Amino acid sequence: RRCRVYAVVAKHADEVEALFGLPLLGWIPHTRKVKGSDEPVALQVQSDPRGGLAEAYRSMRTALQFSTPEGAPKRLVVTSCSKSEGKSTTAISLAINFAQLGQKVLLIDADMRKASVHKTLRLPNERGLSNLLSGDMSPEGLIHQTSIPGLSVMTAGPTPPDPVELLMGPKLMLFLNKAQEMGYAQVIVDGPPLLGLADSIVLGNQIQHIIFVLKAGDTKRSIIKDSLRRLRTAGLAPMGVVLTH
């Protein structure tokens, strides 16, 4: 009887680029909560600007700023193969980093099946993106100002019966265009994981600049290849990889 063995993703930067043919945008160290504090890890980017996590995401921000001739893409969607890879932490940390440049930044939680941004930033989630896309509220009434200068957030809102159907409609693109008119220099979208869901494929077709988050030494290569194949089949290619933990 033959056993099939799936190796996990490499733990080092050069191995990631060699294995998957994608540039490494960020190498994020494993970070724990501060002892005795309930502050989420992502917020250490703001509270401990000289720490290793903040430095790693600043380096990633710099990589994004040199990723195109025009600088960092104005719209980014962050996704991963599956849950618990650091996708939302990366989206939040990047949004904070761009806001620290003095820019007006909008972070959107588009993971309407398993929203988490509101928990990290301690925001209400009774209304959000799902309300906007279903057509019963204006965007201005759904955007929260945070305690972080320059950073605004639209939470996911109540879980809709069919998130993909909402994302496929025209209202998301209309809102993204309106966000630019409202003065947001950067829009960062926390998308759902790729495997088993069409949500991030739909988001990628509208935003196109995709950041792919992988957990070092954990995500199986077969799963990564399946996820990348799904993107390629849809005519999409990630800008690069973020290796977390």
Which pLDDT band holds residue 195 (cuts at 50, 70, 90)?
Answer: confident
Q: State yes or no: pLDDT of 86 exceeds 80.
A: yes
Residue 214: φ, ψ to 5°: -125, 140
Average predicted confidence (pLDDT) for the chain: 89
Mean pLDDT computed over 187-207:
91
Which pLDDT band holds residue 21 (cuts at 50, 70, 90)?
Answer: confident
Please give the pLDDT value at position 243: 92
Mean pLDDT computed over 68-87:
92
Q: Which of 236, 239, 211 is nearest to 85 (CA)?
A: 211
151-154/144-145 β-pairing: antiparallel
Q: State yes or no: pLDDT of 192 exceeds 90.
A: yes
Which pLDDT band holds residue 1 (cuts at 50, 70, 90)?
Answer: very low
Q: State yes or no: pLDDT of 167 exceeds 60.
A: yes
Q: State yes or no: pLDDT of 12 exceeds 80.
A: no
Mean pLDDT computed over 125-138:
91
Residue 3: φ, ψ to 5°: -100, 140
How far is it between the farthest Cα atoms of the chain?
Answer: 62
Q: State yes or no: pLDDT of 6 exceeds 60.
A: no
Please give the pLDDT value at position 54: 93
